[in-house]
Amino acid sequence: MSNILALDTSTENCSAALSINGEILVREFESPREHTKRILPMVDSLLAEAGIKLKDLDALAFGRGPGSFTGVRIGTGIAQGLAFGADLPMLPISTLAAMAQGAHRLHNATDVLPAIDARMGEIYFAQYQLNNAGVMTLVGNEMVITADELVANFNKPEQEFYTLGTGWATYAEQLAALNVANLTACEGIQFPTSHDMLAIAAADFANGKAVAVEDAMPVYVRDTVTWKKLPGRE
């Protein structure tokens, strides 16, 4: 069983979580613009509670985006610094995947549409589906898109989905018209958390997906992915 530290500062929520010998320890605080000040004390607190040092871990996971440009940069930089100092491999984790994993953990969801408010009238969006190992996997591509574009192009009339995230909260009226069989809101999940990154990170580590520090890059999505890459659209 792998021992992994995860941290995330990609949204208003700042979090760190530690998986050690099968036990999960979590620190979490909603603190816009205070991530730089809060994240390292969270990490120190987790390591102290577990009675270990950073170098005793197998890998370090981090929220690689999408999310706030500044938050994603902060999280990536801090994670790289910690991993470099402790000579640990890294596991970049999608924030949208973490949200989908949270929907499974808390609501037993299997088909999920996480969405983060990307500002400027757009959302970060993706479709995730649970695999046989209990880990959320991406269907199609992550993208940045307007609510109206999503409604016009996402057609899954026979499928039911769970929804979560600030994107759904911000554009609830428009997104309610999505052409699907049913939408169920996951109450209480607005942001990605490090806790839910751990399950994905453990699977990625077991499957040899850890990368060197210099290869652990943020993923901003905006300006690189458009609505034309919607799942099922040519």
CATH number at residue 68: 3.30.420.40
| Beta carbons within 8 Å of 122's beta carbon, 6+ residues apart | 144, 145, 146, 222
Q: Would the CA dihedral through 170, 129, 60, 214 be positive or negative?
A: negative
Q: Both 12 and 85 in a single domain?
A: yes
Residue 176, both tokens:
């309610």
Helix, coil or strand: residue 146? strand
At residue 124, does pLDDT exceed 60? yes
Q: Is residue 103 part of a domain?
A: yes
Q: Both 91 and 102 in a single domain?
A: no
Q: Is residue 229 part of a domain?
A: no
Which pLDDT score is estimated for 35?
87
CA distance 193 to 143: 20
Q: 44-85, pLDDT tens digit by residue?
A: 999 999 999 999 999 999 999 999 999 999 999 999 999 999
What percent of the chain stands above pLDDT 70?
Answer: 95
Instruction: Enter the DSSP assignment of 122.
Output: E
At residue 175, does pLDDT exceed 50? yes
Q: Both 143 and 109 in a single domain?
A: yes
Residue 15, both tokens:
């979090």
Q: Is residue 31 part of a domain?
A: yes
Segments forming the whole domain that contains residue 22: 4-95+191-215
Quote the Cα angle for 75-51-65, to 5°: 15
Q: Is residue 112 part of a domain?
A: yes
Number of independent structural domains in the chain? 2
Quickly state the pLDDT bin for 233 (edges 50, 70, 90). Answer: very low
CA distance 218 to 196: 18
Q: Both 16 and 89 in a single domain?
A: yes
> Considering the entire predicted model, what is its pTM?
0.93
If you average pLDDT over residues 132-137, what whole number do you get? 98
Q: Is residue 231 part of a domain?
A: no
Which pLDDT score is estimated for 188?
81
Q: 88-114, pLDDT tens digit by residue?
A: 999 999 999 999 999 999 999 999 999
Which candidate, 8, 27, 6, 16, places its Cα nearest to that of 88? 6
